[in-house]
Structure 1
Amino acid sequence: IHPNDDVNKSQSTNDVFPSAMHLTTHQLLSNRVLPALDQMINQLNVLEDEFKDILKAGRTHLQDATNLTLGQEFSAYVSGLLVHRQLIIDSLKGLEELALGGSAVGTGINTPQGYLEALESAILEVTGTNYRVHNNKFEQLSLKIGMVHTASMIKALTTSLYKIVNDLRFMSSGPRLGYGELSIPANEPGSSIMPGKVNPTQCESMLMVLLNVSGNMDTLMLANSQGNFELNVMMPLMIEKMVISTHLLSDSINSFTDNCLVGLRANEEKLKQNVEANLMSATSLNPILGYEVVAEIVKEAYESQRSFKEVGIEKGKFSEEEYEAMMVKQHEQL
């Protein structure tokens, strides 16, 4: 048996390597990243339902804003991750197109009649996935568009995950001098010098992984620009970054879900205090009291460090019973 005449007959590293990259990436996303993402989405969905009736102060520009429910805030996380999930699934189609049969430069030199059909049939039998030989092998050898597209979808996912994890980290800050709206599981002692301190280690670990993966995807995409003429010789770098990143991402998502999201609790008393102190809650009372009246009460409440409710009652704009009725109506509108 000759290595070239028999083992490598009808094929070249130049078409086999990019095809192997597509197969590997497709399998890693399908069998590791997507299942991990599904687990996270399911747990966030559980929390969305659990928090659906808990009112909280909204924040825009890092400033107080009108109220919403904690469940509504979590619904954004669920909805957004479902979008990312579908975008990754859609990107798999590009990975199902292979360079096999292109041989050395894309012409298919030294490949016999029926070779491409036999390849597709054999790969389907082994993988169970309908991979197809691309109709332009020149593109597949010199440009790595399928890999770049998938990498861009993974990078997009990391940006939204970073925002979600950071939200949870800030909402759990405290316990007394931060937001303190959420309690995260205390998986280990938080400090060697400060007793009782609980650090958001799962959040911090996840954020570092997301930055790492994001940078890896940048490297992969930039490597696509280094294809000269008929071949991109940066493929080993590209697949290295993809394999490392998919393992890191899936493992970290699973760990974050199991050790942070499961066990996450709402601090309802703190959330209630924030809502009562939130002067922006008064915005929904504009149609009832009028903008000028509401603005007058808000201004005095802010300057005197009192609640909207207290100042409004003092000014005779409403009774305590009327205020509570307006707050119930506000909650019903959310």
Structure 2
Amino acid sequence: MPHGPVGDFDLNGKIVLITGGGGGIHLELAKLVLAEGAKVIIADLRLQPDGEEFVKAIPKTVFFQETDVAKWAELKNLIKVSEEKFGDVPDVYVAGAGVFEPPSSDFWEDNEDERYAYVDINVNHPLKLTRIAVTALLSKNKKGVVAIMASMAGYMGQDVAPMYCTTKHALIGFTRSMGQTDRSQGVKVVTIAPGIVRTPLWLNHPEKQARYGYTDDIAIDAIDVAKGYMKIIKEGKYPGGTVFETSKAGERTIGTWFVSPPGFDPDTPVEGTSVPQEALDQAYQPINDILKKERGTGKTVK
């Protein structure tokens, strides 16, 4: 028999697992779910200083597990951790860990021999975490929520960041493909798609700020995205398959067909939701330098 949709979801007494919760958006989310009476497992490679303070201050209801999300065994281990620390499997699974154009995995630099590690972190980790969540929740006959961090880049495209855009496209397609799982199994899979956000991803990397034209005045705060997460996790009006956008233009649910620009008027784009040409030119320059070296060499592979 069908389990039925999740509907409104009270977080009081629930267990929330958050990958990438060591700082930024997902640390803010951890604080919000804790305030509603949830227990929290933060899974990340490391904690930012504010994350360390958060975990130390509330050791009985917040637990940090060092985790490399690209390693499936470490993702699976989080279920065991939850059962040992809090007595049950998680009710909510937030796939928040992700990277943006890291030098170690770059399309244009083409510096990997076997695979793009970027895809393991940004795509394979959320997909595998979702599968782990479905198995764990069904094993305990529980309803639950999977919330995935995507981006507005998931329905845009820029060849200055082709891997990032591609991975976020994949997550939006995956979320839409999982809509029926809410109705049939009671496991709701939803995605949040922010614009530019003021987080350590930018603040700790001035070289990326300079290359991609980041400034504080075009970014929203991490807490704004965390509040968006809370809506799609808790409120039944956001069913499985929902893609929820939050940016300088405000919040909206993105339909499957014919996505219009944020602000709804293509002639007057909202600041912070489009990329100025001078910023694009600046971001393209390192790519142009790479490709200039390849042109006319006669070499077909590196």
Relative to the length of structure 1, the TM-score reads 0.28
Higher helix share: 1
Higher relative contact order (CA 8 A, sep 6+): 1
Higher strand share: 2
State the structure with more CA Rg.
1
Relative to the length of structure 2, the TM-score reads 0.30
